[in-house]
């Protein structure tokens, strides 16, 4: 759909300096295939980690071994058994010699996707890993190794720490030790255990007491080396009375082998602090027959640990062959607020099982869930949400709205809300709708001059508006384009 030109201009202006800022040389180096205690030690030594962290990883690894049979089977997704011994768990960036020399060497299909998304040439080169192109002013995770960050000095004046978690381990070990695994325990689930054992790197953020982070912090994830599992680890701590908005965005090039992605994100908000976490996820979903594509098994959880704290998750999920993801909030502090705003698209053979958990523990805690699921082609999508009111959650309230939009007759949208209330004063309200894009709507839009794809994109954008408006502007623009590209071929 058409996006306001002034919006784009404003975004370009706002992000120009932000997106390009440092140069990095990338080389690739693989650990041998498969998973063993040696691989865990290898990753740990590559990152030059202290003993306590190695111990922590090994502990997770031994727990994971015992969990192997507990692979989540309840989700409404179907995929062949993953052979965990047939993947690489560590890949450092490629050498110049291995990298493509120009965009001419890149798969035209990938380039056409970049163009449709309106990604500038410079950034396309960077995404495609062209020699000497790596310029991005965010904490970029190139495969597994985090590369430098630019705004560090500006942020450090305010006492804000924003760096690769591998660096935080060395420079701020007390913070990492105190909070790592404190929201998502090692044994939380199969993939969280795996991540704890083999995570390669990720981002670390600490906002000191009373500080409002003056800019959106972003991480640009991508998956680059073939057959490399990605295990990012993100840890964000907002100290008392602080505020931070964090953006995570992904694009991935085309590939044939299914790739496993098992990130863990932990957020901690102390008294009166607020964390906003937004994701635009656009990993390769596989071709129209479902071949290839990313398996995205992610554990994201925030803890509103302090009173009056707030955590919001906003996500736009258009990519991946399989998505299994439930960003959740533990509402521990009295009067704390948890929010979940989600748009998820399943087109072609994509499968998504996503939702949230709001666990109300403190008094007067409040949560809002707005989920917009869009299914097209043969896509299957399930919203799975849990709202739990613990015995101590006096006067807690939840409002959930789950809407499904179906495009065509071969897709499916499913809503599975679990409600578990142990407190009589708590209120839980759940609304759900399922609708289809009608032929009348498509005709009306086309009669006004939109082509069928623009018509679908416009209607879908309208359907998702409540969520899209929660995104920071630069992300909202990107998300709108993504919706259009993701739904290509869904009509006509």
Partner 1 sequence: MTIALEIKDLHVEISDKEILKGVSLNIEHGEMAAIMGPNGAGKSTLASVLAGKEGYTITSGSIKYLGKNLLDMPIDERAAAGVFLAFQYPVEIPGVATSAFVRTALNAQRRHRGESELDGIEFLKLAREKAKELEMSEDFFQREVNVGFSGGEKKRAEIFQMSMLSPTLAILDETDSGLDIDTLKIVAAGINNLRSDKLCGIVITHYQRLLEHLKPDTIHILADGKIVKTGDKSLAILLEEKGYQGIIEAA
Binding residues vs partner 1 (CB under 8 A)? 1-2, 4-6, 438-441, 443-452, 454, 458-459, 461-466
End-to-end CA distance of the chain: 17
5 or 289: whose CB is closer to partner 1? 5
Distance between CA atoms of residues 355 and 415, nearest Å: 9
Strand order in the sheet with 337-346: 145-146, 141-142, 217-222, 243-251, 274-282, 310-317, 337-346, 366-376, 397-407, 427-436
* 20: enclosing H helix or E strand: none
Distance between CA atoms of residues 74 and 98, nearest Å: 42
352 forms beta bridges with 323, 381
Q: Least Å distance between CB 458 and partner 1?
A: 6
Q: Where are the beta strands (DSSP E) in 217-350?
A: 217-222, 233-238, 243-251, 259-261, 264-269, 274-282, 294-304, 310-317, 322-325, 328-331, 337-346
Neighbours of 286 (CB within 10 A): 24
45 or 438: whose CB is closer to partner 1? 438
296 or 480: whose CB is closer to partner 1? 480
337 or 345: whose CB is closer to partner 1? 345
Q: Least Å distance between CB 343 and partner 1?
A: 12
311 or 406: whose CB is closer to partner 1? 406
- Strand-pair category, 337-346 with 366-376: parallel
Q: Least Å distance between CB 445 and partner 1?
A: 7
Q: Least Å distance between CB 14 and partner 1?
A: 17
Backbone angles phi and psi of 341, in degrees to 5: -120, 125
Distance between CA atoms of residues 427 and 8, nearest Å: 42
Q: Least Å distance between CB 463 and partner 1?
A: 6
162 or 463: whose CB is closer to partner 1? 463
CA 87 to chain centre: 22
Q: Least Å distance between CB 452 and partner 1?
A: 8
- Strand-pair category, 217-222 with 141-142: parallel
Q: Least Å distance between CB 2 and partner 1?
A: 5
Q: Least Å distance between CB 361 and partner 1?
A: 34
78 or 448: whose CB is closer to partner 1? 448
315 or 461: whose CB is closer to partner 1? 461
The CA distances from residue 13 to 7, 454, 469, in Å, are 10, 26, 20
């Amino acid at each position: 759909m058409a996006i306001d030109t002034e919006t784009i201009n404003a975004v370009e202006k706002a992000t120009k300096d932000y997106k390009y800022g440092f140069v990095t040389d990338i080389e690739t180096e693989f650990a041998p295939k498969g998973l063993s205690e040696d691989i865990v030690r290898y990753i740990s030594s590559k990152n030059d980690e202290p003993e306590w962290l190695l111990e922590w990883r090994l502990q997770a690894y031994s727990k994971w071994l015992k969990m192997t049979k507990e692979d989540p089977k309840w989700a409404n997704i179907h995929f062949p058994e993953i052979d965990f011994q047939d993947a690489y768990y560590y890949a450092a960036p490629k050498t110049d010699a291995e990298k493509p020399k120009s965009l001419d060497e890149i798969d035209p299909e990938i380039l056409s996707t970049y163009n449709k998304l309106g990604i500038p040439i410079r950034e396309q080169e960077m995404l495609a890993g062209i020699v000497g192109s790596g310029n991005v002013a965010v904490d970029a995770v190139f495969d597994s190794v985090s590369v430098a960050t630019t705004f560090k000095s500006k942020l450090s004046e305010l006492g804000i720490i924003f760096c690769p978690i591998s660096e935080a381990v060395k420079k701020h070990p007390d913070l990492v030790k105190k909070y790592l695994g404190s929201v998502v325990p090692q044994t939380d689930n199969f993939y969280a255990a795996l991540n704890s054992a083999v995570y390669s790197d990720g981002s670390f953020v600490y906002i000191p007491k009373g500080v409002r982070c003056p800019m959106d912090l972003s991480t640009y994830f991508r998956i680059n080396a073939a057959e490399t599992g990605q295990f990012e680890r993100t840890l964000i701590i907002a100290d008392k009375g602080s505020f931070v908005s964090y953006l995570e965005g992904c694009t991935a090039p085309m590939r044939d082998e299914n790739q496993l992605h098992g990130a863990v994100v932990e957020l901690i908000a102390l008294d009166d602090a607020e964390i906003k976490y937004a994701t635009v996820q656009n990993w390769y979903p596989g071709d129209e027959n479902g071949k290839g594509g990313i398996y995205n098994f992610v554990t994201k959880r925030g803890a509103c640990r302090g009173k009056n704290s707030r955590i919001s998750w906003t996500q736009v999920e258009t990519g991946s062959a399989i998505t299994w993801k439930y960003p959740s909030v533990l509402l521990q502090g009295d009067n704390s607020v948890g929010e979940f705003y989600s748009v998820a698209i399943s087109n072609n053979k994509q499968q998504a099982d996503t939702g949230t958990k709001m666990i109300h523990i403190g008094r007067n805690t409040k949560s809002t869930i707005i989920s917009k699921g869009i299914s097209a082609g043969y896509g299957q999508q399930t919203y799975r949400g849990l709202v739990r009111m613990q015995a101590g959650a006096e006067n807690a309230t939840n409002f959930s709205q789950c809407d499904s939009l179906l495009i065509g007759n071969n897709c499916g949208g499913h809503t599975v809300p679990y409600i578990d209330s142990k407190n009589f004063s708590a209120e839980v309200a759940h609304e759900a709708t399922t609708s289809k894009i009608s032929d009348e709507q498509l005709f009306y839009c086309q009669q006004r001059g939109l082509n069928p794809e623009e018509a679908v994109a416009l209607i879908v954008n309208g359907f998702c508006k409540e969520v899209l408006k929660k995104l920071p502007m630069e992300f909202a623009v990107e998300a709108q384009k993504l919706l259009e590209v993701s739904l290509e071929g869904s009509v006509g």
